[in-house]
Amino acid sequence: MPTTAWLTPQFISRLETLELSVRWVRAGHKLGGRFPVNRRGSSVEFADYAPYSPGDDIRAIDWNLYARLERLFVKTYREEVALSVELIVDATASMMLPGSEKFEQANRLAVSLGYVGLTDGHHVRLSWVTPDRIAASPWFHQRSDLFRMVQQAAAARGGGSISLAEWMRRSASALRFHGGQAILITDGMVRPSDFFRALHVLMVRNLEIKVIQTLTPEELHPASLVLGGTLIDVETGATHQLAYHPAELESAVVEHNESLARFC
């Protein structure tokens, strides 16, 4: 049985007061979600006017406004849509170091955000970046799916190595990523070029992307652990001779993380 001690009633109540931050959306479903979108045409709640564009429904044109301004405007209306929320957890070998706690915390974060999405009325799916197969949960649609999400996360296994961009390409097709929001939880232990290509796969599929980087204190400040010697890449097996001054090592970590952040 997966441990659920961290899901206290108080913590769940706090999650229910939160909402996912969404700046834009290209695809949604009229299924009672709480994310408001302005659409041209008719709906329930009037929102604003927008300049007429070829292809707009002429029934939405406000002719009274045209009589005053001699310009065409259409009415836009506010409606609520349910988003598809993809929660993607990095499960490669680096997420298992220095122990399993980092991966466990990433899964708990994914479940927590998933529950926030369900509380907002959205559709949520969890998937894991693994080298051997595409590991993904079914879609979850309601609050009562919380403990099913916990079970799926508890069953996830980490390890191995795969290009993040390659996993995104494979999964975008197999899992049919299209529209909504994608939240990637990763330690960012990848080459920046691979990271950028991975996010580009999501961008071209009209997904709004958010990235959460999970690092241990030792990973943020590696000079406290190692100043020199031979390092072994846990994912590729490659060896690297290390002879850094502590300040140089700390600076390299900051520069790497900032290069990832600049693309997000």
- Whether 89 maps to a domain, the answer reads yes
| pLDDT band at residue 92 under the 50/70/90 scheme | very high
Confidence at residue 170, expressed as pLDDT on a 0 to 100 scale: 94
132, part of any domain: yes
HSE at residue 243, side-chain half, CA atoms within 13 A, is 1
Say whether both 75 and 186 belong to one domain. Answer: no
**Contact assessment for residue 77 and residue 44, using Cβ atoms and an 8 Å cutoff:** yes
Q: Is residue 239 part of a domain?
A: no
Of 158 and 232, which is predicted with more confidence? 158
**Domain contains 160:** yes
Mind listing the pLDDT tens digit for each residue in 19-52? Answer: 988 775 554 444 344 545 444 444 456 667 788 8
pLDDT number for residue 62: 87
127-143: pLDDT as tens digits: 999 998 889 999 999 99
Question: Are 181 and 20 contacting, i.e. CB atoms less than 8 angstroms apart?
Answer: yes
212 domain residue, yes or no: yes
What pLDDT sits at residue 39? 46
Show which of 199, 216, 233 is a domain's final residue.
216
Q: Report the predicted TM-score, pTM, of the whole model to 2 decimal places.
A: 0.78
pLDDT, tens digit (0-9, with 9 covering 90-100), for 175-205:
999 888 999 999 999 999 999 999 999 999 9
Beta-strand ranges (E) seen in 104-245 are 123-129, 135-136, 180-186, 207-213, 228-232, 239-243
Q: How far is CA 18 from the centre of its chain?
A: 16
Between strands 207-213 and 228-232, the pairing is: unpaired
Asked whether residue 207 is assigned to any structural domain, the reply reads: yes
CA atoms within 13 A on the CB side of 118: 23
Please state whether the peptide bond connecting residue 98 to the residue before it is cis, i.e. omega within 30 degrees of 0.
yes
188 with 172, same domain: the answer is yes
* Whether 127 and 183 share a structural domain: yes
* Domain assignment of residue 114, yes or no: yes
**Residue 38: HSE in the Cβ half-sphere, 13 Å Cα cutoff:** 10
The pLDDT, as a whole number, for residue 37 is 47
3-state percent helix, strand, coil for the chain, nearest multiple of 5 = 40, 25, 35
Q: Is the pLDDT score of 3 beyond 80? A: no
Q: Give residue 32's pLDDT.
A: 41
Least confident of 3-12, 27-36, 81-90, 116-125: 27-36
| 92 & 153 share domain | yes
Counting residues of the chain whose pLDDT is more than 90, the rounded percentage is 53
- Rank 110-119, 238-247, 255-264 by mean pLDDT and report only the highest: 110-119
Looking at the structure, do residues 100 and 113 belong to the same domain, yes or no?
yes
Per the structure, the complete domain to which residue 60 belongs is given by 35-80
